[in-house]
Amino acid sequence: MNANLDVQYAVSDDEADPPSPGLIRSWVDAALFAQRDESELTVRIVDTAEIQYLNRTYRQQDKPTNVLSFPFEKLDGIELPLLGDVVICAAIVALEAQQQQKPAQDHWAHMVVHGVLHLLGYDHIKEKDAEIMEGLEIEVLQRLGIANPYEENRPQEAV
């Protein structure tokens, strides 16, 4: 499945070293492996100020976070292939990778996959739902050659 993907960078080069659009596309495509319909989505790489603003505005949590997902809200009678937007904070991802002693690229892949799965309707609020979502994340990342992100150092909350 190839999605129509828009990758946006809203960080300066001296703030972060985000992955290339090609890598992000490979992770998005891997997360959409079971999706048969045409899909459109945006992955936006931002700084801590923007992610904190979004987190405060849409989740009432006045702090930066690693990833936020904004699923497209479908309108009755209008069929569009839009999945939504994934917003990832480059500085938080870099910090978490360092704290968790993981390769930065692996943690980026995890955040992209995590965000896309949210767009597909998966969640981790309830324990049973979290187990399903984490299982899918592990499966997708393993197909990409990336170790289980939930072993040993459990990641901080991903949204």
Decide: residue 133, CB within 10 A, 0-12 exposed, 13-18 middle, 19+ buried: buried
CATH assignment at residue 126: 3.40.390.30
Considering the domain boundaries, does residue 154 fall inside one? no
What average pLDDT is seen over the chain? Answer: 89
**Residues 72-115 pLDDT 10s:** 988 777 778 889 999 999 999 999 999 999 999 999 999 999 99
Q: Supply the range of the domain harboring residue 64.
A: 4-143
Which pLDDT band holds residue 13 (cuts at 50, 70, 90)? low
Considering the domain boundaries, does residue 150 fall inside one? no
Considering the domain boundaries, does residue 149 fall inside one? no
Considering the domain boundaries, does residue 102 fall inside one? yes
| Total domains present in the chain | 1
Considering the domain boundaries, does residue 151 fall inside one? no
Which pLDDT band holds residue 2 (cuts at 50, 70, 90)? low
- Nearest CA among 90, 81, 12, 75 for reference residue 42: 81
- The residue with greater pLDDT, 37 or 126, is 126
Q: Are the CB atoms for 124 and 159 separated by under 8 Å?
A: no
Considering the domain boundaries, does residue 22 fall inside one? yes
